[in-house]
Amino acid sequence: MSLTAKDKKIVKAFFGKVGGQAADIGNDALSRMIVVYPQTKTYFSHWKDLSPGSADVRRHGLTVLTGLLEAVDKIDDLVGGLLNLSELHAFTLRVDPANFKTLSHCILVVLAGMFPAEFTPEVHVAVDKFLAKVALALSEKYR
Amino acid sequence: MVEWTAEERSIISEIFSKLDYDDVGPKCLSRCLIVYPWTQRYFGGFGNLYNAEAILSNPMIAAHGITVLHGLDRALNNMDDIKNTYTQLSELHSEKLHVDPTNFTLLADCLTIVIAAKMGTNFTPDMQAAWQKFLSVVVSALGRQYH
């Protein structure tokens, strides 16, 4: 499954519209992931406070979403453009790639909740494909 | 047996009490067919599924979406034995409809997203956790009779 020209157009337009709320989107998505999938807490044992909306969660949510917006800019070459991020996830963070899908689902739920009118089925499928491609690019250096 | 806290039961009841089947059913099924187009394989006799607009305005899909959503009612009314409640439906999906059980999760995810869109910030992380737990129990029950 690859991103068509139409997919890329939809993704760029959608994130162009909602990117300003990256902090809120990231915070909500990460908060949800930690609550709905408690096994993901294992990656954050060094944080003081894992509750939804905590300072740690907010800060990290913004980090993740900033990375995602960077991926939107590099949508024409995700593998090449996200090489550094892939190395970070593969060698330093060593996040099990299954969690990319988990976080992607939470991001979709947040986008639907925050932007119900804009998050049409057509936008949904384009963003879902995009997130899958980002996950693949992040997994590139794993083995 | 699946254990439900009082809070989880309350959350599930609340979501169902606010559920507009005639709106959410069609939205859920049509979104699934659009986002995961391979699921259209099960709907050969349902008329025009050529593009998103056609799917969204297809009355047969809308009607079926409502039917499918009502399929959750038996879980709501039998939360302490969801496993056995779905024996016949599981056999139906396996032996007659030949639906790959992976599709149950795809549809469940679309339903969660449609509900999130309707409830907005009211769909808190705790509500999402309880709701997804409920759906995963139903999905598991529907897959039990496959062999």
pLDDT tens digits along A96-112: 899 999 999 999 999 99
Residue count (chain A): 143
**Spatial separation of the C-alpha atoms in residues B112 and A40, rounded to whole Å:** 20
- Which residues, given as ranges, of chain B have pLDDT below 70? none
Distance from the B34 Cα atom to the nearest Cα atom in chain A, whole angstroms = 6
Task: Please name which of A94, A117, A104, A115 lies closest in space to residue A18, comparing C-alpha atoms.
Answer: A115
CB atoms B125 and A32 under 8 Å: yes
Q: Are B4 and B79 in contact (CB under 8 A)?
A: yes
Tokens of residue B81, six digits: 């034995």
A9 band by pLDDT with thresholds 50, 70 and 90: very high
Average pLDDT over residues A21-29: 98
pLDDT score for B108: 98
Q: What is the mean pLDDT of residues A89-95?
A: 91
pLDDT, position A1: 87
Q: What is the pLDDT of residue B116?
A: 98
With b meaning 16 or more CB within 10 Å and e meaning fewer, what string describes B130-145? bbbebbebbbbbbbeb
- The predicted pLDDT at position A3 comes to 97
Phi, psi of B144 (to 5 degrees): -70, -35
pLDDT exceeds 90 at position A70: yes
Nearest beta carbon to residue B129 from set A36, A121, A122: A36
Q: Do B126 and A125 touch (CB under 8 A)?
A: no
Task: Using pLDDT thresholds of 50, 70 and 90, give the confidence band for residue A88.
Answer: very high
Query: Does A112 contact B117 at a Cβ distance shorter than 8 Å?
Result: yes
Of B31, B56, B132, the CB nearest to A124: B31
